[in-house]
Amino acid sequence: MAQSLNCLLVQQPYASLIVFGHKRWEFRSYEVKRRGTIGIAASPSSVLSTRDPELNKVSQVLPRGAVLGTAELVNCFYAIGRDLEKYTQQTVRVSLHGKDVVTLGAPIGEPEADVSEAIKNPNWSSFVWEFENIKPLEAPIPIVKSSMSTWVRIDLNSR
């Protein structure tokens, strides 16, 4: 019986921030009903630009086009900018694949300037996909993205 894993495609640097446990919330424009174990895959597409020049520089060397870890998708809820304020008190130095950067602490795990901008914007809102039990893989598993979907499926038996 073939075993497969649904993997969420996330652009870098956010895929690595999730996999290393610093970003437990993924912000998306739509709600998700799926729960349970998923893969976190770094999208093969270009990296996202943040308001943090150091993180942008590091992002260029982070792995892309591979599953980097697994997580339990445990919740999805709607948030507005003001909801993020209580999670912005602490910044942390994190290591992503051997490169050090500074982000807000978990659960947000994104650059402080980006989150501050969202908080100031009265029109900012998002669905928050919440992860727990995040585990990086020992070695990334390459993916083939065949559509514009947010998800890819990998066959675990062929690994």
Rounded distance, CA 12 to CA 64, Å? 7
pLDDT digits (tens, 9 = 90+) for 143-158: 987 677 899 998 876 6
Q: How many domains, the chain?
A: 1
pLDDT digits (tens, 9 = 90+) for 43-71: 998 899 999 999 999 999 999 999 999 99
**Least trusted range by pLDDT, from 45-49, 94-98, 100-104, 116-120:** 94-98
pLDDT digits (tens, 9 = 90+) for 128-137: 999 999 999 9
Cβ-based neighbour number of residue 69 at 10 Å: 24
| Strand stretches in 1-159, DSSP E | 4-10, 25-28, 36-42, 66-80, 91-96, 99-104, 125-142, 151-155
CATH, residue 26: 2.30.130.30
Range of the domain at 63: 4-158
Give the predicted TM-score (pTM) of the model.
Answer: 0.94
